[in-house]
Structure 1
Amino acid sequence: MTHETKAETKRATVIGLGQMGGTLARLLLEAGYETTVWNRTAAKAGPLLAAGARLAPSPLAAVRASPAVVVCVHDYAASDAILDEEVAAALDGRLLLQLTTGSPQEARAGEARVRALGGAYLDGAIQAAPGQMGRPDTPILLSGAEAAYRAHEPLLRVFGGGLEYLGEDAGAAAAMDMATLSYIYGAAIGFFHGARIAEAEGFRVDRYGALVAGIGPTFADFLRYEGEAIQAGDFTVGESPLSISVEATARIARAARERGINDEFPAFAAGLFRRAADAGYGGEEVAALIKVLRGDPGARAAA
C-alpha cells in the first residue's frame, strides 16, 4: 500500500483528547481536515463533534479512518496499550505522528515497530502550551523519515509554523526536548529563587518578572555563543570568564542564607562552579563548566 500524499484528501485522526490532543483536533477542523477522533472517555469529544469531528468507535476504526494518525496521550505505555497488535497492523501505508512525550529510546522502538508494519513514523516534541498552538512561530521538534516529513508538512504546519526537522533518527526530537526542558526547568528554578529575593527585599515580583522578560533576548544570544564555544571546543574567554560565575553564585548562596531564603539552588550552582575553578577552568569561558558535567579527569580530581 502506498502512503497518501499531501495532494489527496485532507483527512486526519487524533487519538487522545486531553488539553493538547483536543487542541490539535480543533486546529485540524479549522484547517478543513476531515477529522476523526478517539479517546478512552468519549465525553471529551463532545465539543469537537459539535464542530464537525467524527467519533470513532474504537482505536482500530480511528486508525483506518485516515492516512495520518496523530497520537497525543499521557505516555508511551498508554500509546502502546491503545495501539495493540491488531490496531498497529492497520498502520500499514499510514503515517503515525507520535506527539506523546517519551524518551529517545521509546521513540526509536516505536519507529522500528511501525516501519516493520509498513507504516511511516514521525516523532514530535511540542515546545508550547495548548493555547500557543497553531501560531506561525509555534515551535515543534520533529524527527523520523524525511520522506514522511516532506509529504505531510502541510498537516504539520496546521499545528505550528516553527517546525524544526532534526533528521532521520526518530529519537532526536525526544532527545532535544529533554535538553531544552533541562534548560527551562533550570531557568525556572532560578527565576523562582529570584522571586524570593525580590519578596525578601520588598520588591514587586511582577516587576521583577518584567525585568527578566526584558533581558531574555540578550541572554538567549549569550547562550547561543556558549553553545558555539562548546561545539568548537574553544574555551578562550570571549564573553564571560568562569571565575566571575564562581564569585557570583557563591555570593547569591551566601545572601540567601543571611536572609533566611532557601539556598538549595544557589548552593548547588555555586558547588558546580567551585569544582570547575578548582579543576583549573576559572580563566576559561564560562562554558567550560561543561567539563565538570562531562566528568572530565581534572574536574573529577577536584571533586
Structure 2
Amino acid sequence: MPSSPAQHPAQNPDPAPASAPARPSVTVLGLGPMGRALAGAFLDAGVRTTVWNRTPGREGDLAERGAVLAASAGEAVAASGLTVVCLVNYDATDAVLRRPEVTDALKGRTVANLSADVPERARDTARWAAEHGVAYLDGAVMTTTPTIGTPEGVFLYSGPEALYREHRPVLDALDGVHTHLGEDIGRAAAYDVALLDIFWTSMTGYVHALALARAEGVTARELAPFAQGIGAILPPLFQEWAEDVDARTYSGEGNPLTSGLSTMEHVVHAAEGHGLDASVMRAAAALTRRAVDGGHGTDGFTRVTELLDLR
C-alpha cells in the first residue's frame, strides 16, 4: 500500500513561511530638544531611526536606545525613504538639504519638514524639491516635547495627500493627532504662524499681567488661579468670534468696543503709573480707538480684524 504523505513529510513540505514585512525606517535631521523627542518616539515605536545633527554630540542617549548615528547628512538621508527635518528655521533647512551631496542622496526620497517658518518659505522649499526630484511634505508640531510619543501630540501636514498617506504609517509612530490640511504646501505653516500668534500674544499679556500684579503687591501665585479662570473663558469665545469674523457681523452685543476701550485704558494707566512698559496694550487700545472713531463703537472687538489688513 502506498505510504500516506504524512509518513514522508519531506515529499510534501509545508509552505515556506511568508517573509516578515520590512522594518519601517526613518531619518531625523536636527537633534535639538524637539528633534531628539521625535527620534526617541520613532525608536520607542520600533522604527529603525537614523539621526544626524550639524553639531556633533547632541544625540543624547539615542545611540544607546538603538539609533544609527550617521557621519554626514548625505549618509543619513540615504538610509531611509523618509527624512524628517526639525531645525530652527528654513535658513537652517536650506543650509543642510541644499548641499549637493545631500540633494543627490534625496532624489527619489521624501522629506517631511517639521521646522518652523513662514508659508512662503515652505512653498519655496517645495519648488526646490520638485526641481530636484525630491518628494516633499511640509508640517508643524503644535505641542511641546513632552507630548511627543503620547496621545497629546499634535502634528499638522500639507502637500500631496497621496504622499502623506504613503508615509502615514511611519508618522503614526509619533502617536498623537495627525491632520493633513490640504494640497497647498504652505497651509501647515499658515496654521502654525496663526496659532503661534495666539500663543505668544497671550503669553505676552500674561507676563505683563504678572508684572502689573507684582507692582500692586499681588504675587504671581496668588493671581494664577484667577488667570486660569480668564483662560477658561477663551475656548467658547474662539469659536464664537471665528464665526463672527467669517460672517463679518462683528457683533458687539454684551461687550461693545467703547466698553472694551475703557478697560484697556485702565490697564495702560495702571501699568504706566508703576513705570511699566504698556506698549502692547497701548497698541491694542489704539486699534480699538481707530474702530470707534470710524463709527464702529457699538461693534465687537472682532471689528479690529478689518483694521489689521494693511493691503
- What TM-score, normalized to structure 2? 0.87
> Does 2:224 align with 1:209?
yes
Q: Following the alignment from structure 2 to structure 1, what is the Cα–Cα distance between the partners of residues 177 and 127?
A: 27
Quick one: structure 1 residues 142 and 233, their matched pair in 2 at CA, closer, same or farther if it must change by over 3 Å? Answer: same
Pairing of 1:1-303 with structure 2 (within 5 A): 9-83=23-97, 84-238=99-253, 240-295=255-310
Q: CA deviation at 1:128?
A: 2.0
SS of residue paired to 2:34: helix
Q: How many residue pairs were aligned?
A: 290
Kindly provide the CA deviation profile for residues 184-226 of structure 1, in whole angstroms up to 9, marking residues without a partner as x: 1111111111112221222221232232223323212112211
Q: CA deviation at 1:61?
A: 1.3
Q: CA deviation at 1:241?
A: 2.0
Q: CA deviation at 1:46?
A: 4.9
Counterpart AA for 2:196 = L
Q: CA deviation at 1:135?
A: 2.3
**Higher alpha-carbon deviation: 60-69 or 204-213:** 204-213
Check conservation: 1:198, 1:208, Cα contact below 8 A.
yes
Counterpart AA for 1:184 = F
SS of residue paired to 2:57: helix
SS of residue paired to 2:106: coil
Quick one: percent identity of the two aligned structures?
36
Runs (5+) with no aligned partner, structure 1: 1-6, 297-303
Quick one: structure 1 residues 119 and 239, their matched pair in 2 at CA, closer, same or farther if it must change by over 3 Å? Answer: farther
Q: Following the alignment from structure 1 to structure 2, what is the Cα–Cα distance between the partners of residues 239 and 64?
A: 60
Check conservation: 1:242, 1:289, Cα contact below 8 A.
no
Q: Following the alignment from structure 1 to structure 2, what is the Cα–Cα distance between the partners of residues 202 and 162?
A: 42
Counterpart AA for 1:293 = L
Output the aligned Cα RMSD.
1.9
Quick one: structure 1 residues 198 and 160, their matched pair in 2 at CA, closer, same or farther if it must change by over 3 Å? Answer: farther
**Higher alpha-carbon deviation: 266-275 or 41-50:** 41-50
SS of residue paired to 2:152: coil
